[in-house]
Chains A and B, each alone.
Chain A
């Protein structure tokens, strides 16, 4: 793991909760909508907070795809759940939601879990071409 990879993981970790918070704030302004209500969905996207949230989530998605290209899904997903701590802080101080003691304990558990996951290797060592559907050896190209 070099610095650049940590930077990508940090992108995954930070973009997601910030984007979600912006979305949450915007969606509370828009109000309840149903999945089938396309007009409502369009109206939601035209809200500036929702729009900004979506831009952040696009940034999240780009870094997420990058991370998945060189690390296991079972590494990237837990490793980026450190965003929970960030999320709780945003929920508490920016959105003024009440964060209960139980939720704080839950968030502490999540954080310690992230600590465990990131001590391990980020990708499963595989023999070359083990990903092909059949186990037959690949034909040699001369």
Chain B
């Protein structure tokens, strides 16, 4: 991969991480306002879509999904998903200070272990397969 392509990939990674965190926090805030969904009734989801935070969260997550799609077309899946998961700690911090979640020590331990796993998985080349597979050429 050339330098320009590398920078594009890095920019995509940045967009993926930021839209992931903001979209999730917004969606979570909205769904907590909507209230518990326990039935499988579609009416509950219609009600959920009336909440502005839910709508904003979904829109930002759509941006996340599109940038994730673009990233998936450039790098291995097993590189892309750990990258997006580096948002875990950011989500934990936003959850604590914005959503006022109580984060127990078990939760912190879990989040830190997950992030550690993410960093290990990230320090590998972004593409292990050379070009498209034979049968796709």
Determine the distance from Cα of A20 to Cα of B81 in the docked complex, in whole angstroms: 9
**B14-45 vs A: 1/0 string, CB under 8 Å?**
00000000001101100111111110000001
Report, as a range, how many residues of chain B touch the other chain.
Answer: 35 or more
Q: Size of chain A's interface in residues, with CB distance under 8 A?
A: 65
Chain B hits for A107, CB < 8 A? 117, 121
Dominant SS at the B interface?
helix
Q: Among A28, A33, A69, which residue has its beta carbon within 8 angstroms of that of B36?
A: A69
Chain B hits for A97, CB < 8 A? 76-78, 128-129
Q: Given that A102-B123, A117-B107 are known contacts, is A65 also in contact with B117, CB under 8 Å in the complex?
A: no
Chain A hits for B77, CB < 8 A? 20-21, 24, 87, 91, 95, 97
**A23 touching B120, Cβ below 8 Å:** no
Q: Among A17, A102, A114, which residue has its beta carbon within 8 angstroms of that of B114?
A: A114
Q: Give the shortest distance, in Å, between B131 (CB) and chain A (any CB).
A: 10
Chain B positions near chain A (C-beta within 8 angstroms)? 12, 24-25, 27-28, 31-38, 45, 48, 54, 65-67, 69-70, 72-74, 76-78, 80-82, 85, 88, 91-92, 95-96, 99-104, 106-107, 109-124, 128-129, 132-133, 136
15 pairs from A and B in contact (CB 8 Å cutoff): A17-B81, A20-B77, A32-B74, A44-B69, A65-B54, A70-B36, A72-B102, A74-B92, A77-B24, A84-B85, A96-B133, A100-B128, A103-B124, A117-B111, A124-B100
